[in-house]
């Protein structure tokens, strides 16, 4: 999906320049309008990225040359994406609960709790019809920054780790109601 770009510093300010093949963007827009997307792993993105991210870039980012459409978040995607993302969060938390919490593996639990929180955040924002173009402000935008406190309080105690898993599950689920 990514065709190139650069991280630049211009007059002391960090700037991300993205090159996109507009045929790919148009394809992803058509898929998004039908409620279809897939999730791709990408470095620095805990939960991966939705394929419609390139459409979100078109909708919210600054076009440097020419003019391009500013697509609204498709209603079909508002219906289809939240259960996909929240389902992934449930699976991620279930894995942490069964395979790491009982053994006091706080590092693995912390990682999976962060991934699940990011997956819940994607679900919350999709339900609201808000484009996501990166994870930098994802938890803030979704209103689940409180997950930081849960992760910060982790210990190696299996009961406490199971409690943290349940706390993230309850918090994420409650935000989707």
Alpha-helical regions (H) of 21-177:
22-33, 53-60, 75-99, 106-128, 138-142, 147-152, 158-175
What count of other Cβ atoms lies within 10 Å of the Cβ of residue 16?
A: 11
pLDDT of residue 140: 96
**71 pLDDT more than 90:** yes
Q: Which residues are 49's β-sheet partners? A: 40
CB 175 within 8 A of CB 143: yes
Q: What is the pLDDT of residues 28-68, one digit of tens each?
A: 999 999 999 999 999 889 999 999 999 999 899 878 788 88
pLDDT of residue 3: 79
The span from the CA of 60 to the CA of 133, in Å, is 9
Segment (H or E) for 49:
strand 45-50
Q: What is the pLDDT of residues 2-27, one digit of tens each?
A: 778 898 999 999 988 888 888 999 99
CB 109 within 8 A of CB 161: yes
Q: To the nearest whole number, what is the mean pLDDT of the chain? A: 94
Kindly state the average pLDDT of the residues 132-137. 93
The span from the CA of 136 to the CA of 134, in Å, is 6
- Number of domains present in the structure of the chain: 1
Q: Give residue 101's domain range.
A: 4-175
| Closest alpha carbon to 121 in 71, 48, 62, 55 | 48
> What tokens does 3 get?
């065709």
């Amino acid at each position: 999906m990514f065709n190139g770009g650069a991280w630049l510093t211009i007059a002391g300010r960090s700037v991300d320049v993205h090159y996109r093949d507009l045929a790919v963007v148009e394809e992803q827009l058509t898929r998004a309008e039908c409620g279809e997307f897939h999730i791709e792993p990408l470095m620095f993105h805990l939960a991966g990225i939705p394929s419609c991210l390139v459409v979100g870039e078109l909708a919210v980012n600054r076009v440097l040359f020419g003019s391009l459409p500013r697509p609204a978040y498709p209603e079909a995607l508002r219906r289809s994406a939240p259960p996909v993302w929240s389902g992934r969060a449930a699976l991620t938390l279930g894995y942490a609960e069964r395979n790491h919490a009982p053994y006091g593996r706080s590092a693995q639990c912390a990682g999976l709790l962060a991934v699940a929180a990011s997956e819940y955040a994607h679900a919350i924002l999709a339900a609201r019809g808000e484009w996501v173009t990166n994870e930098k402000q994802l938890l803030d935008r979704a209103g689940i920054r409180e997950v930081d406190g849960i992760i910060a309080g982790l210990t190696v105690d299996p009961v406490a780790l199971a409690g943290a898993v349940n706390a993230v599950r309850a918090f994420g689920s409650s935000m989707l109601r």
